[in-house]
Amino acid sequence: LASCRETLAATRTGLSDWATAMSDALNAAHRNGVDARGRAGLDVCGYVTASTPTETLQSLQVLIDDPSRIAAASVGQGAGDNTNARALVDTFGSVVDGANALRLQLANRQRSAEREADVRVASKEDIDRRRSNLSGVNLDEEAARLLQLQHAYQAAAQVVRMSDELFRTLLDAAR
């Protein structure tokens, strides 16, 4: 369980680090350009560095909601230029590569955890088998013996009941 907590904490930290790096990279690339009206590019994403990775991730947000504010042109190149848009696409490609690397890392951790769980189950089964062999107790044999004893008890109880009825009948006949 502690291993799971550690893995989750590392995953949250990795995801938070990736998200903040993605935001910073996109913001830096966007600030290098101008929009169709010649205005300087603004930050595309924003976040608050919080005390936990989860809180940082929860604060992540998109800041530009107006498509005309996309800084597609490079500074001094005019409204028809798309040089900065291509730089943004390249930056976004790096972001996707980072996401894929994180996904692969998570998949590897999952496979590792599954293998560890399989080993633990096999170890437990081996320990149970060895304990059973050492104690000399076979649960199937013990269950069969318990059934035999139960049947013998029921038979003895029936004999006692029949003896009691016979004794009462003899007493009633003697009266």
Residue-wise pLDDT tens digits, 32-63: 898 888 888 889 898 888 888 888 888 889 98
CA dihedral of 83, 85, 90, 94, whole degrees rounded to 10: 150
Please give the pLDDT value at position 79.
Answer: 66
C-alpha 160/C-alpha 167 separation (Å) is: 10
Q: To the nearest 5 percent, what fractions of the chain are helix, strand and coil? A: 75, 5, 20
Average pLDDT for residues 53-80, to the nearest whole number? 84
Which of 47, 48, 49, 31 is CA-nearest to residue 39? 31
| pLDDT tier at 9, thresholds 50, 70, 90 | confident
C-alpha 88/C-alpha 70 separation (Å) is: 10
Please give the pLDDT value at position 121.
Answer: 93
